[in-house]
Structures are given as C-alpha cells and as structure tokens.
Structure 1
Amino acid sequence: MYTLVMIAADLVAITILALGIYYLRHRRRDLVVAFVGVNVGVLAVAVVLAGTSVALGLGLGLFGVLSIIRLRSSEISQREVAYYFASLALGLIAGLSSTLSPVSLGLMALIIVAMFIADHPRLLSRSRQLTMTLDRAIGDESELVAQLERVLGGTVTQVSILQLDFVNDTTQVDVRYRIGAPAEVSSALAGARR
C-alpha cells in the first residue's frame, strides 16, 4: 500500500518537474520524454530492488551507471544535467522508500522547490555566457574586455581566450558578462554604431 502511495507521489513530482517547470520554461519536448522515462524506469527498478538486501548499494550503482550512459550519449547543457539528476533522484527516493516516510516526501518536495528556484528566469537574469569569435586577434586582455563590452553592451565579468589566431586575425573567447539595463544597452549599442 505504501509503495503505491510513493509511486503516485513520484509520478506527481516528475510531472511537476518535467512539465510544470522544465517544459514551461525551456520548451524541449525531447528532454521531457527523457526525464519522465528515466524517472519511471529508475522508480520501477528501485521498487524491485527495495525488497532485496543489497538495495541501497545497487540503487546507488544504478544511479551512477545510468548517469554515465546518458551523459555520454549526447551533449546537454548543465541546466539539463541538473534536471536529469533531479529526475533520477526522485525515482530513487520513491522507489527505495519501503514505508510512507515524511522524510522521503519532504526530500522529493525539496528537489522540486530547489529546481524551481534555481532555474527561475528572474534569478541572475542579467548574467550571460557566450563562446564567440572576434574578427581580430586581440592578445591584450584589457583591450579584449573593452571590445567585448562594446560588442555585447554589458559588463564583462570573466573572459578566457580559447584561441588566438594571428594568421587569420581572429580571437575565440569564452565570455561571461552582465547585460545592462535596457537603457544602458541601447546607449552602448548606439555608441558602438558611431
């Protein structure tokens, strides 16, 4: 009986996570299918393993194996990795809980709340990251930062030169920056056009 309640709790949790949070914010149907499929698969295996004496070790091993397989099969962003692990964790918590535990239900709720907050569009909404190629080779970091701030209309917080090509006169950089307020961006772009 308790197992059925935990299965229902897991299905509600993964629906909220995959459809209510992830899909509404990012609109990637393919990953919703992956998150739900992995969650339900892990839940099913964990329920079966919960009746054995090696359930915890086997469950954690399964978590690791599935993570490696999925993360190596295609390139996904760090945000999607977080959703992927949350889906796995929800399935393991629900599947390995042999009793109706307030702690298990609380942990499942904590995962959903943490993902809701951490991936909220308003949290760090002005921070951006780009990998880009500039049409000149710039080795001086202060000159590079000034050029990037002109082009991006924001404040560079970190820059790493990935490739400096003096033959083709290009610079490839990984840049993290904060966009300015809309008025600041407009004035910066207007100044760059002059």
Structure 2
Amino acid sequence: MTVPATALPIACDLVAISVVVALYFRRHQRRDLVLAYLALNVAILSATAMLASGAVGAGLGLGLFGILSIIRLRSDSITQEEIAYYFVALVLGLLAGVGSGPTYLVPLLIALVVAVMYAADHPRLLPRARRQLLVLDSAISDEALLRAHLETRLGIDVRHLIVQELDFVRDLTVVDVRYRVSTASTLRAPAADHPSARDLPAPPAAGVGQVPSHEGLVGLATRDGAAPVGAPLLSTDRARP
C-alpha cells in the first residue's frame, strides 16, 4: 500500500476511537477502561498494519498472537455494554490495520461502527428498561408471589425474573430482575451523560428510627455490581438484636 492509502485508514481509526472513548466516558464514567480501549485499539492497529505490510512474516505474527493469547488477564467484572466497547475498539483497529479493498470502504465501515455505537448505547433508547440483581431476606419459591412482592415493594413493572439462588436455611433469595420504571421517575432522573445529572443533590440518608421504604431488601446491585446511592442495605422487616 502507498503511504496516502495507509494514512487514511489510520487517521479514520484514530478519530473513530477518540469519538467512541468520549461517548463511553460521558455515558459510563470509568477512566480505567478509557486507557484499556485506547491501548487495545492502537496495539491491534499497529500489529495488524505490520502484518498486512509484509514487514513481519505471517508465522512470526501468528506466534506473537499465540503468546499473547495464553496470558491470563485479571480485571474487575464489567458489563455487557463495556464488553461491546472492547469489541468495537478491537474491530476498529483491525479494519484500519488491514486497509484492503476500495479507498472508501474502510472509512465507511468505521463510520458505520461508530454510528451504531452512538445510537445503540444512547440513553434515550429504551430509557425505562432496567436490570438489577436483588437479594431478599426471605426465601420465596413461588414465582408469581415473588413477582408481586417485588412490584409491591419497589413499585416497578417486572417484565422477567430469574431466581439465581434460593436458600431456605439462610432465608435468602437472589433474583435477577428485568423491569420497567414509570415514566415519571424516568423524567425525574436525567441520563448519566446529561449535563443536569451532575447537579442533582445526593439523596438524604435514613435517620435514626426511620424505616427505609424498601423493606425486605438486603442488598441491591446494579449491572456493574455496585449498590446504588441511597439504597437500603439491611432489612427492617424482622426484629434485630
């Protein structure tokens, strides 16, 4: 490939990964993954460009990828959205590194990938749909009763639930809930990437003698495993010593 033909896909990739990373951080706010996405994209771009140019033999290139594949990476658990951003960062690097086909093909595919990520992860797409992992301090084996219990306690519209753990010894139920919030609550809670979301005051903590509104809820985990701010962590249904 000529230098101009190589420079165009690389420039498109750098612009695209910058836009994708900016979208990710604005919507999900994890600085450590920004570094991971940028490093992965640039590394894949560099390795693929070297292999495609013929400067490195195919056997040596496959050997390098094999060595990298046996390294076990340890990290915190991430959400499915963050896995999608990992895949996009990898694909952008591959597209720009190979750079084969007509001149317009690589920029067009890169623009398509970025447009899909912008639209698919937009806060206005299915804004009422939620998924949370709930831990209840009572063992409820009846699915209909469990659904009614969740809808009554939390005031949500449960669409689907999966009981992950049912412990009669410890009187515990762990359930994966997919639900929809009310339109009013959606309007009151701006999206994470909305500028006004940063100005919202923190919810008040429960005072001494107050009973949280969600009784029977031991723990509430969001998709990334962290408890939401202001969510009660201990049940008040039963008497405590």
TM-score (norm 2): 0.67
**Residue identity matched to 1:34:** A
CA distance in 2, matches of 1:65, 1:116: 34
Q: Which residue of 1 aligns with 2:7?
A: 4
**For the pair shown, which has the larger CA radius of gyration, 1 or 2?**
2
- Report deviation, 1:33: 0.8
Q: Which amino acid aligns with 1:73?
A: R
Measured in 1, the distance between the counterparts of 2:45 and 2:9 equals: 10
Q: 2:158 aligns with which of 133, 156, 159?
A: 156
Q: Which structure 2 residues correspond to residues 16-35 of structure 1 after superposition, within 5 A? A: 16-19=19-22, 21-35=23-37
Equivalence for 2:130: 128
Q: How far did 1:183 drift?
A: 6.6
1:24 positional shift: 1.2
Instruction: Give 5+ residue unaligned stretches, structure 2.
Output: 187-212, 216-241
Provide structure 1 residue ranges, at least 5 long, that are not aligned to the other structure.
Answer: 185-190
Instruction: Name the CA distance, whole Å, in 1 between partners of 2:20 and 2:68.
Output: 19
- What CA distance in whole angstroms lies between the structure 2 residues aligned with 1:16 and 1:117? 13
For 1:110 and 1:33, how far apart are their aligned partners in 2?
23
Task: Tell me what 1:182 maps to.
Answer: 184
**Within-5 A mapping of 1:12-161:** 12-19=15-22, 21-52=23-54, 62=65, 72-74=73-75, 75-98=77-100, 101-161=103-163
- Identity fraction in percent: 45
SS at match of 2:132: strand
How many residues were matched structurally? 182
Q: 1:54 to 1:124 in 2, by over 3 A?
A: farther
How large is the RMSD of aligned CA atoms in angstroms? 2.9
Against the structure 1 CA distance between its residues 155 and 112, is the aligned structure 2 distance closer, same or farther, given a 3 Å change threshold?
same
Q: Distance in 1 between matches of 2:20 and 2:183?
A: 31
Range that drifts further, 125-134 or 90-99? 90-99
The aligned amino acid for 1:137 is A
Structure 2 residue aligned with 1:188: none
As a proportion of its length, which structure holds more helix? 1
User: 2-side partners of 1:49 and 1:144: how far apart?
Assistant: 56
Give, in angstroms, the shift of residue 192 of structure 1: 7.7
Moved over 6 A (4+): 64-68
1:183 to 1:38, Cα distance in 2 relative to 1, 3 A = closer
What is the deviation of 1:116? 0.5
Sort the Cα spacing of 1:151 and 1:133 in 2 relative to 1 into closer, same or farther, 3 A. same
Q: Secondary structure at the match of 1:73?
A: coil
**Aligned partners of 1:133 and 1:16: how far apart in 2?**
38
Distance 1:22 1:49, change over 3 A: same
- Deviation by residue 1:74-98 (Cα, 9 ceiling, x = unmatched): 2211101100110000000001005
Rounded Cα–Cα distance in structure 1 between residues aligned with 2:15 and 2:141: 53
SS of residue in 1 equivalent to 2:164: strand
What is the Cα deviation at residue 65 of structure 1? 8.5
Query: Which range is displaced more, 79-88 or 4-13?
Result: 4-13
- Report the TM-score when normalising by structure 1: 0.83
Query: Secondary structure, in 3 states, of the residue corresponding to 2:169?
Result: coil
